[in-house]
């Protein structure tokens, strides 16, 4: 039963060995002259200000969570909207109602968020 | 495509769904907690009544995703009942603790949707969906007293361990799907050739582990005392009854119908270790919430004794025990919630050590009598419902020729009587150290009266329950 997997195991082994060899070879063969600039965090040329072990404002999380919810909403609604017109009529009504329920539930969430002041930034 | 007439079978579920959305809207627009509470309680009550009315429905609907039968409806009744009882006491407790937010009721309803979905599931994906809906709500509820360190600790512990164990559950589902090519439970039950596949057995084992964590069985029990100790008391009661019963109601019928007898020895050993651990560690507890938590671990062990039997009696016993358990465990937690006070800075619990129960009978004989009654029932002393719950489970084990298991179970439940009696001795035979008085709200009193009525009624007439819910 496992014979079919042998090529996969070989690929896994080769890729692991390749990665391991390359990383170690480059650190072994390459010159090693560290300085302060090289060792600092690379963030697109910005100067780092302190460490990441800090408490972030809750607003970032709120925005992130809302973003995920509505991002996924779009992912679901897009195929729904595209295939909508291809259905025969009874199924069209059916899929319209189902889509509507989905949107209403999310809208209630958005109303809740808005009234609780999650979307206020200051 | 869903037929419209199929929706009539899931009216209770739809009621709860609509109510949960309604509760959120009422909460943001009027902030009137009375209305929020009324809507929540009413919807649960209506769902309970409709489920009892429709007990005889037996059908598979919604693209083979939902299976409604006697067993799932019976368990749904027990779950709804325990949610209703804990809701009745919730309001006064939340006001006392200054955490009376409308979100509490919304989250309770969301978790209830998950539980009902899980119990009625006919597909592993629906099981997973329901379990996650329930669990995520529980993580929030455990940390509901957000200003208290202990509550936060319990929420974080529960979340990290729960998320980890969800991985086991998903691995199990993956393996089952990988071997069988389906997640439909009916197909999995009927295809007995599959039951010899080693990968399938491993998959079912991992699936079982995910649920053993939720019901707090050994060796996945370590979260139980910490979480129940830190969570708000009424939430502990809610989690240990409704949540545990929903998990039991999902996994036990699946394992029983798969009928893989290779698992019998594993389940027996797990159940013995669970009972041993729960009952023996509980002897050393001085905190009443931790004591009840260990007693709930022991109860999971008794339920596993029934599961190990793998016969028709087992499901009857499990259903009856969960019913009795929801009355007595929730009743005990409600009494603990009434006696509990906030410390002066409102940062931590107080009055949850056994010392605060000293001389309770002299200070408040009614409360002491009620608590004694629930503890007797938990200990399994006739004529209370807890006795018959254990009786049916152990009889199922004897019928399945697991004599050794039932003897061990009886011996361990005798050990259990000791720590329940210890609390009773504290209440009745010691002198009071304080003269505190306790306030019982009308709704909380109703919940307690219902619990007592259930404990005594099903203790005196256990067969009536089986008249209501006919099997097979």
Task: Note the pLDDT tens digit of each residue in A48-90.
Answer: 777 778 787 888 888 888 888 889 888 988 888 888 888 888 7
- Domain extent, residue B448, equals 4-468
Contact B28 A91 (CB under 8 A): no
**Could you tell me the two tokens for B65?**
């995703």
Question: What is the pLDDT, as a whole number, of residue B344?
Answer: 52
Nearest to A112 among B1, B2, B24 (CB): B24
Pairing status of strand B349-350 against strand B341-342: antiparallel
Question: What is the pLDDT, as a whole number, of residue B192?
Answer: 81
Question: What is the pLDDT, as a whole number, of residue B250?
Answer: 92
Return the closest-CA partner of residue B287 out of B339, B249, B212, B209. Answer: B339
Residue with the two structure tokens 């209506």: B46
- Model's pTM, two decimal places? 0.87
| DSSP three-state, residue B59 | strand
Using CB atoms and an 8 Å cut-off, which of residues 152-181 of chain B contact chain A? none
d(CA A81, CA A99): 9
Question: What is the pLDDT, as a whole number, of residue B472?
Answer: 45
Higher pLDDT, A91 or B470: A91
Higher pLDDT, A3 or B449: B449
Question: Is residue B439 a contact partner of residue B338, using CB atoms and an 8 Å limit?
Answer: yes
d(CA A35, CA B363): 75
Q: With the C-alpha atoms ordered A97, A103, A107, A109, is the resulting torsion angle positive or negative?
A: positive
d(CA B61, CA B54): 15
CA dist list (Å): B198 to A2, A59, B286? 14, 49, 45
Question: What is the pLDDT, as a whole number, of residue A35?
Answer: 84
| List of residues 6+ apart from A27 with CB closer than 8 A | none
Question: Is residue B25 a contact partner of residue B103, using CB atoms and an 8 Å limit?
Answer: no
- Tell me the pLDDT of chain A averaged across its residues: 85
Interface test with B, best of A94, A112, A118, A119 (most B CBs within 10 A): A112
Domain definitions of chain A by residue range: 58-115
d(CA B161, CA B3): 40
Q: Which residues pair with B308 in a beta bridge?
A: none
Q: Which helix (H) or strand (E) holds B424?
A: helix B403-428
Q: What is the mean pLDDT of each run of 10 residues along chain B (472 residues)?
A: 80 92 90 89 94 85 87 91 91 84 91 93 93 93 86 91 92 92 88 84 92 90 90 91 92 87 88 92 89 92 89 86 92 90 63 81 88 91 88 90 90 90 89 79 88 90 75 50
Q: With the C-alpha atoms ordered A15, A19, A20, A21, is the resulting torsion angle positive or negative?
A: positive
Question: Is residue B121 a contact partner of residue B251, using CB atoms and an 8 Å limit?
Answer: no
Return the closest-CA partner of residue B453 out of B399, B351, B374, B350. Answer: B374
Contact B24 A115 (CB under 8 A): no
Tally of domains within chain B: 1
**What beta strand segments (E) does B343-392 contain?**
349-350
Question: What is the pLDDT, as a whole number, of residue B18?
Answer: 92
B24 to chain A, any CB pair closer than 8 A? The answer is yes
Contact B28 A94 (CB under 8 A): no
């Amino acid at each position: 039963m496992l014979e079919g997997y042998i090529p996969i195991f070989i690929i896994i082994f080769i890729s692991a060995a390749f990665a391991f060899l390359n990383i170690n070879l480059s650190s072994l063969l390459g010159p090693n002259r560290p300085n302060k600039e090289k060792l600092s965090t690379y963030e697109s040329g910005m100067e780092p200000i302190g460490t990441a072990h800090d408490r972030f404002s809750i607003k970032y999380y709120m925005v992130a969570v809302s973003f995920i919810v509505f991002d996924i909403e779009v992912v679901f609604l897009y195929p729904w909207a595209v295939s909508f017109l291809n259905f025969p009529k009874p199924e069209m009504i059916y899929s319209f109602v189902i889509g509507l329920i989905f949107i209403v539930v999310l809208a209630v969430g958005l109303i809740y968020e808005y009234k609780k002041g999650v979307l206020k930034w200051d | 495509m869903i037929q419209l007439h199929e929706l009539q079978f899931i009216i209770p579920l739809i009621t709860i769904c609509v109510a949960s959305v309604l509760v959120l809207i009422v909460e943001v627009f009027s902030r009137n907690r009375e209305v929020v509470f009324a809507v929540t309680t009413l919807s649960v009550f209506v769902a309970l009544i409709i489920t009892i009315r429709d007990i005889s429905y037996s059908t598979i609907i919604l693209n083979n995703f939902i299976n409604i039968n006697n067993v799932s409806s019976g368990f749904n009744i027990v779950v709804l009942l325990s949610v209703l009882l804990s809701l009745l006491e919730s309001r006064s407790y939340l006001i006392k603790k200054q955490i009376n937010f409308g979100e509490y009721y919304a989250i309770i309803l969301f978790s209830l949707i998950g539980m009902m979905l899980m119990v009625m599931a006919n597909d592993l994906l629906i099981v997973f969906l329901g379990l996650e809906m329930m669990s995520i709500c529980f993580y929030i509820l455990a940390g509901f007293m957000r200003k208290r360190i202990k509550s936060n600790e319990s929420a974080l512990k529960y979340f990290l361990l729960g998320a980890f164990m969800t991985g086991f559950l998903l691995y199990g589902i993956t393996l089952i799907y990988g071997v069988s090519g389906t997640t439909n439970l009916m197909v999995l039950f009927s295809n007995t050739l599959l039951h010899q596949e080693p990968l399938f057995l491993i998959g079912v084992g991992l699936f079982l582990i995910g649920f053993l964590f939720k019901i707090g069985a050994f060796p996945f029990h370590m979260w139980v005392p910490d979480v129940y100790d830190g969570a708000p008391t009424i939430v502990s009661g809610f989690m240990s009854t409704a949540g545990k019963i929903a998990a039991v109601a999902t996994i036990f019928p699946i394992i029983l119908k798969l009928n893989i007898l290779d698992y019998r020895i594993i389940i027996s050993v797990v159940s013995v270790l669970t009972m041993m651990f729960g009952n023996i560690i509980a002897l050393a507890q001085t905190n009443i919430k931790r004591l009840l938590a260990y007693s709930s671990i022991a109860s999971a062990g008794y339920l596993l004794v029934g599961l190990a039997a793998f016969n028709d009696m087992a499901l009857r016993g499990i259903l009856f025990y969960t019913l009795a358990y929801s009355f007595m465990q929730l009743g005990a937690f409600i009494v603990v919630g009434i006696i509990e006070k906030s410390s002066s800075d409102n940062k931590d619990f107080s009055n949850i050590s056994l010392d605060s129960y000293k001389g309770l009978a002299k200070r408040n004989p009614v409360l002491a009598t009620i608590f004694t009654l629930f503890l007797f029932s938990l200990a399994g002393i006739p004529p209370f419902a807890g006795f018959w719950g254990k009786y049916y489970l152990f009889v199922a084990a004897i019928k399945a020729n697991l004599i050794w298991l039932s003897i061990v179970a009886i011996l361990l439940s005798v050990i259990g009587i000791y720590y329940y009696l210890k609390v009773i001795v504290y209440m009745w035979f010691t002198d009071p150290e304080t003269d505190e008085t306790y306030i019982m709200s009308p709704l909380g009193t109703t919940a307690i009266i219902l619990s007592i009525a259930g404990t005594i009624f099903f203790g005196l007439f256990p067969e009536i329950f089986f008249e209501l819910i006919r099997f097979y």
